[in-house]
């Protein structure tokens, strides 16, 4: 039997359902998702292993015109990830018409090979791949009726023709309901090269545990966040330590983490009146951490200010961007 293995990058504007789709493909939460744009901040790999194939899906930060040094690094990380894969899956929501942000992405992926000019007011953000083999994924298909979906599929086909080259396939999916996901997996695997598996069969993510823990906490914080706060939030894990005195069936892990904000005025927003906010974040995150760590979790959250970290190159590097 032929065995296929390869990398597929999920590309798209912020908030187009990439991370939700990755989780639906893998069958477990490996990337966090939220209603806020620019939730994903690093290339997250999710791995699906079957007897005939291993599909490694790379979720990438939403591609946009960067307005901050953080945005610049996110956009550069997306471009980097798109360039290093076997196939790009461009995510275009079913319930929105193709806009300039989508066209910028389609042009970069399907357009002619070679460098093009800067993408934004803050200058160039990295090499342009161009000429990538690509499929279109029409996401959030549950949000529209059949007629609207059919019209959207036609429009998605047309926008590729305008870029000079067609899609290998166009597949409608809903990461939320799971509709079309199995078919998408078959289509993606069909475009992968032959080769042996690269990860052990039980691996679903290659993010280090502290990163996954920090992301679960950030997702919990994003559920509560409002206005300008989502972009200002970052989470760093300071300690993950298992209590040594526990029997294996009653493991207990202490997790300590800091939720960073950019201004002292935002501290109170996260903490909430009488600490209600921070408690709610803990209550949301803890069950997910317990699933992830397969242990009871004692979670200690602190809020700290890292002044203007989104715009501070040294702070960005320290935070791993």
Ligand X SMILES: Nc1nc2c(ncn2[C@@H]2O[C@H](COP(=O)(O)OP(=O)(O)OP(=O)(O)O)[C@@H](O)[C@H]2O)c(=O)[nH]1
Binding site for ligand X (CB under 6 A): 12, 14-20, 33-35, 37-40, 61-62, 139-140, 142-143, 174-176
Residue 15 contacts Mg ion per CB under 5 A = no
Locate 135 and state its tokens: 């499929």
- Residue 308 CA, distance from chain mean position: 23
Residue with tokens 């994924």: 137
Q: List the single partner that 136 binds among Mg ion, ligand X, none, CB under 5 to 8 Å by kind.
A: none
Choosing among ligand X, Mg ion, none, which partner's interface includes residue 183 (Cβ < 5 to 8 Å by kind)? none
310 contact choice in ligand X, Mg ion, none (CB below 5 to 8 Å, kind-dependent)? none
Q: What are the residues facing 273 on neighbouring strands?
A: none
**Partner in contact with 75, chosen from Mg ion, ligand X, none, beta carbon below 5 to 8 Å by kind:** none
| In the complex, least distance from residue 219 CB atom to ligand X, rounded to whole angstroms | 9
Q: Out of 19, 54, 236, 310, which residue is the one contacting Mg ion (CB under 5 A)?
A: 19
- Identify which of residues 234 and 253 has a Cβ nearer to Mg ion in the complex: 234
Nearer to Mg ion, 39 or 54 (CB): 39
Q: In the bound complex, which residue of the shown chain has the CB atom lying closest to ligand X?
A: 62
Q: How many residues bind Mg ion (CB under 5 A)?
A: 4
Site track for Mg ion across 31-70, x = CB under 5 A = --------xx------------------------------
Compute the least distance from the CB of residue 281 to ligand X, in Å: 18
Q: Which does 46 bind (CB under 5 to 8 A by kind): ligand X, Mg ion, none?
A: none
- Beta carbons of 253 and 241 less than 8 angstroms apart: yes
Query: In whole angstroms, how close is the CB of 278 to ligand X at the nearest point?
Result: 23
Interaction partner, residue 139 (ligand X, Mg ion, none; CB < 5-8 Å by kind): ligand X
- We find the least distance from the C-beta atom of residue 194 to ligand X, in angstroms, to be 30
């Amino acid at each position: 039997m032929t065995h296929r293995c390869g990398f597929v990058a999920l590309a798209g504007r912020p908030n187009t359902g990439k991370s939700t789709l990755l989780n639906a493909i893998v069958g477990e939460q490996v990337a966090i998702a939220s209603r806020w744009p620019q939730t994903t901040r690093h290339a997250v790999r999710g791995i699906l292993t079957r007897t005939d194939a291993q599909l490694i899906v790379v979720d990438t930060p939403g591609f946009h015109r960067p307005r901050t040094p953080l945005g610049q690094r996110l956009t550069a990380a997306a471009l980097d990830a798109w360039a290093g894969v076997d196939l790009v899956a461009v995510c275009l929501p079913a319930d929105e018409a193709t806009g300039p942000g989508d066209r910028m992405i389609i042009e970069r992926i399907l357009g002619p090979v070679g460098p093009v000019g800067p993408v934004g007011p803050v200058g160039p953000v990295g090499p342009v791949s161009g000429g990538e083999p690509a499929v279109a994924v029409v996401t959030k298909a549950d949000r529209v009726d059949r007629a609207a979906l059919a019209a959207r599929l036609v429009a998605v086909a047309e926008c590729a023709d305008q870029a000079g080259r067609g899609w290998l396939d166009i597949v409608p999916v809903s990461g939320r309901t799971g509709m079309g996901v199995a078919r998408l997996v078959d289509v993606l695997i069909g475009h992968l090269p032959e080769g042996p598996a690269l990860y052990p069969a039980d691996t679903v993510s290659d993010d280090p545990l502290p990163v996954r823990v920090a992301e679960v906490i950030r997702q919990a914080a994003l559920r509560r966040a409002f206005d300008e706060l989502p972009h200002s939030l970052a989470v760093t894990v300071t300690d993950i330590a298992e209590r040594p005195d526990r029997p294996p069936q009653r493991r207990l892990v202490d997790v300590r983490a800091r939720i960073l904000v950019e201004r002292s005025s935002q501290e109170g927003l996260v903490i909430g009146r009488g600490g209600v906010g921070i408690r709610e974040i803990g209550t949301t995150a803890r069950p997910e951490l317990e699933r992830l760590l397969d242990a009871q979790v004692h979670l200690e959250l602190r809020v700290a200010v890292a002044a203007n970290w989104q715009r501070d190159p040294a702070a960005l590097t320290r935070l791993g961007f």
